[in-house]
Structure 1
Amino acid sequence: MQKQLTFLIALFTITFMAGAQTTSTEKTLFERLGGTSGITAIVDDVIEAHMNNPAISARFKPYEDQPERFAKIRQHTIEFFSAGSGGPVEYKGKDMPVTHQGMNISAAEYMHVIDDIMGVLEKHNIDETSEKDVLAILWSLKGMIMSK
């Protein structure tokens, strides 16, 4: 069960680490996504979207019965997302292949995760350039996540 939500954590971390690379005159992805408060809202809405998405909810629903564990994983996700997008937090988590070992995530599941994330970014009025940055990163990670 831990592996399912670890999927979300790792996905955010690696996704936004790559998007954090900017020049000194550009805003980091962390800043473009609204900093800590924006990322917290995005993470909460992505979790809700995954919980309500019948194609992938089975991977996330078990955590509803583990509120303390869920809260810890949620906070960890926010911290990872913040660090990976150029925020003031250091990510010390596992890499993508290790995190997804044994999960056997299908291409269809991966696409549902991407759709949920992109829908949340749109809901939060994230600019098109940042959305494209996130989508490109998500797409580049599929080989490290799917069917591991």
Structure 2
Amino acid sequence: MSKTLFERLGGRNGISKIVDDTVSEHMTNPNVNARFLPFLERPEHLAIIKQHTVDFFVTGSGGPNVYKGKDMVTAHTGMNISPAEYMHVMDDIVTALDKNAINEDTKKDVLAILWSLKGMIIAK
């Protein structure tokens, strides 16, 4: 029997590390950091966003159903995220996956999920 995506990402701890690394990448990426740097002044809000992101990926990758946050459209409405920004965010996620030694097949599975969410996030 093959492992779930949740297991291949290292379970909740692995996903948490990937989310932390992704946010660090966003903070230094000049193409998207204007959206993320303000959260440095609101660390409690950033912690909530990270927690929701971890819970979303835990649930979406076959782990326990823990996500209780907003749906993607509601969460991103009013942000007016451009297609280019979305691609930069995806690049940052790939960098975080690489930092965490996630194999190519698992990266492809994560990217497929992210690609499927694109229409719910861009220009909302």
| Cα distance in 1, alignment partners of residues 8 and 111 from structure 2 | 15
Select 2:79's aligned residue among 103, 106, 125: 103
Q: 2:26: which partner in 1?
A: 50
Q: 1:10: which partner in 2?
A: none
| Cα distance in 2, alignment partners of residues 141 and 68 from structure 1 | 26
Select 2:96's aligned residue among 120, 130, 137: 120
| Cα distance in 2, alignment partners of residues 93 and 37 from structure 1 | 19
Unpaired stretches in structure 1, ≥5 consecutive residues: 1-24
Q: 2:121: which partner in 1?
A: 145
Aligned-CA RMSD value: 1.4
Select 2:108's aligned residue among 118, 128, 132: 132
- Letter of the structure 2 residue corresponding to residue 105 of structure 1: I
Select 2:48's aligned residue among 68, 72, 77: 72
- Letter of the structure 2 residue corresponding to residue 77 of structure 1: T
Q: 1:63: which partner in 2?
A: 39
TM-score under structure 1 normalisation?
0.77
Q: 1:32: which partner in 2?
A: 8
| Cα distance in 1, alignment partners of residues 43 and 111 from structure 2 | 30
Summarize the Cα distance change of 1:142–1:60 in structure 2 as closer, same or farther, 3 Å threshold.
same
Q: How far is the alpha carbon of 1:68 from its aligned partner? A: 2.0
| Cα distance in 2, alignment partners of residues 40 and 87 from structure 1 | 13
1:4-19 alignment to 2 at 5 Å? none
Moved >4 Å (runs of 4+): none
Unpaired stretches in structure 2, ≥5 consecutive residues: none
Q: How many residues align?
A: 124
Taking every aligned residue pair, what percent have the same amino acid on both sides? 62
Q: How far is the alpha carbon of 1:44 from its aligned partner? A: 0.5
Q: How far is the alpha carbon of 1:90 from its aligned partner? A: 2.1
Provide the secondary structure at the position in 1 that maps to 2:31.
coil
TM-score under structure 2 normalisation?
0.91
Q: How far is the alpha carbon of 1:58 from its aligned partner? A: 0.9
